[in-house]
Amino acid sequence: MSAGAIIGIAIAAIVVLAAVLFLTAVRRQDVRGAGALSRETRRRDKAATRAAEAPETKEVPATLGALVKASSLPPAPFTPPDPELVAVTRRQFFNRANVALMNVGLGGFGLAVIAFLWPKAGGGFGGKINAGKVDDILANIEANSGFFYVPEARTWMTHYPKEALRKAETVYSESELAGMRVGLVALSQKCPHLGCRVPDCKSSQWFECQCHGSQYNRVGEKKAGPAPRGMDRHPIEVSNGVAVINTGININGPAIGTNTTGQEAEGPHCVSAAGGH
Residue with smaller CB distance to ligand FES, 212 or 218: 212
Question: SS3 for 158?
Answer: strand
Residue with smaller CB distance to ligand FES, 9 or 194: 194
Torsion sign across C-alpha atoms 267, 206, 146, 180: positive
Instruction: Determine the Cα–Cα distance for residues 99 and 94; give it in Å rounded to an integer.
Output: 9
Instruction: Determine the Cα–Cα distance for residues 227 and 172; give it in Å rounded to an integer.
Output: 19
Cα atoms in the 13 Å half-sphere on the side-chain side of 85:
3
Residue with smaller CB distance to ligand FES, 161 or 276: 276
Q: Kindly state the smallest distance separating residue 145's Cβ from ligand FES, in Å.
A: 22
Residues at the interface with ligand FES (CB under 6 A) = 191, 193-194, 196, 209, 211-214, 225-227
Give the angle 111-112-116 at the CA atoms, nearest 5°: 115
Q: Kindly state the smallest distance separating residue 149's Cβ from ligand FES, in Å.
A: 17
Torsion sign across C-alpha atoms 64, 69, 70, 75: positive
The secondary structure of residue 172, as a DSSP letter, is S
Instruction: Determine the Cα–Cα distance for residues 182 and 260; give it in Å rounded to an integer.
Output: 16
Residue with smaller CB distance to ligand FES, 176 or 208: 208
**Burial readout 13-23 (b: 16 or more C-beta within 10 A, e: otherwise):** eeeeeeeeeee
Residue with smaller CB distance to ligand FES, 127 or 225: 225
Residue with smaller CB distance to ligand FES, 44 or 197: 197
CA distances (Å), origin 63, targets 58, 73, 245, 273: 14, 16, 83, 96
120: left (phi over 0), alpha (psi -120 to 50) or beta: beta
Q: Kindly state the smallest distance separating residue 217's Cβ from ligand FES, in Å.
A: 15
Residue with smaller CB distance to ligand FES, 137 or 209: 209
Q: Kindly state the smallest distance separating residue 193's Cβ from ligand FES, in Å.
A: 3
Q: Kindly state the smallest distance separating residue 198's Cβ from ligand FES, in Å.
A: 6
Q: Kindly state the smallest distance separating residue 257's Cβ from ligand FES, in Å.
A: 17
